[in-house]
Amino acid sequence: MSEWKRKRFWKQATETEAEGGFSVLLDGRPIMTPAKAALILPTRPMARAVAAEWNAQGDEIDPRAMPVTQSANSAIDKVTPQRDEVAALIAAYGETDLLCYRADGPEGLIARQAEAWDPLLQRAEAELGTPLLVTTGIIHQSQPAESLSRFAALVAGQSVFGLTALHDLVALSGSLIIGLAAIRGWDLPENLWPVSRIDEAWQAEHWGVDEEAAALAESKRAAFMQAHRFFTLTRAAA
């Protein structure tokens, strides 16, 4: 028996100004989130992107082809009701940031991690005031309380839409520093993503590529890029 699929029921999606921001209309009717809240977006470019996703749908609706819509729904339905909890979850990555846990061998991997990770840690210390301690192995390294407090304040200062994007950037990369680097424009997302995959790339080079792992990595890379795009839409000018 074939799975039921929702059919397209509108002809045209358009963005429009709305109270508190911007909205998208389907044949003149505003879109609602899955939780039946008004889909109010922070910028016109984000509303335009959402409208484009709805206009691009075929006869059957494919939610996977609507990443901006999905992220906006998450921001409103999931992040807004538990903003403080989400912010705390993101900031907690600073306690165990990927960039702080180094291999104890071989020398080539040690050097590669240092080359990619040290500049980001140094920039975070210089620009954010968040020095972090580096260790080898997986044993927990306590971090300076002032740095963790600074991280918490930086994260809490994001909008709910910004938090939604930052959560994905951090969770996918395993690094709060990489997530903050992405939203602060320290480097392009396509350059930052490989920085989070140093260990995996080393393994693939020396032991061969696992096709299943490579497919999963590509899926995560695409999600990282999309999260960065969503963040830029939260700040984009009309």
- The pLDDT-based confidence of 6 (bands split at 50, 70, 90) is confident
Contact yes or no for 23/39 (Cβ under 8 A): yes
Band of the pLDDT at 3, cuts 50, 70, 90? very low
The full set of domains in the chain, from first to last, is 13-65 (3.30.2180.10), 82-235 (1.10.3580.10)
Alpha-carbon gap, residue 10 to 1, rounded angstroms:
27
**182: exposed, middle or buried (C-beta count within 10 Å: 0-12, 13-18, 19+)?**
buried
pLDDT for the residue 149: 98
Q: What percent of the chain has pLDDT over 90?
A: 93
Q: How far apart are CA 38 and CA 18, in angstroms?
A: 10
* DSSP structure string for 166-183: HHHHHHHHT-HHHHHHHH
| Preceding peptide of 30 cis, ω within 30° | no
Whether 77 has a pLDDT exceeding 90, the answer reads yes
Q: Report pLDDT digits (tens) over 179-192.
A: 999 999 999 999 99
Least confident stretch, 2-16, 32-46, 61-75 = 2-16
How many helices (DSSP H) and strands (DSSP E) are in the chain?
10, 5
What tens digit of pLDDT does each residue of 103-122 get? 999 999 999 999 999 999 99
What confidence score (pLDDT) does residue 101 get?
A: 98
pLDDT, one tens digit per residue, over 43-53 is 999 999 999 99
What is the reported pLDDT for 2? 40
pLDDT band at residue 135 using 50, 70 and 90 as cut-offs: very high
**Beta-ladder partners of 135:** 101
Q: What is the pLDDT of residue 107?
A: 97
**What is the Cα–Cα distance from 216 to 105, expressed in whole angstroms?**
26
Are 195 and 117 in contact by the 8 Å Cβ rule? The answer is yes
- Compute the half-sphere exposure of residue 51: CA atoms within 13 Å on the CB side of its CA: 24
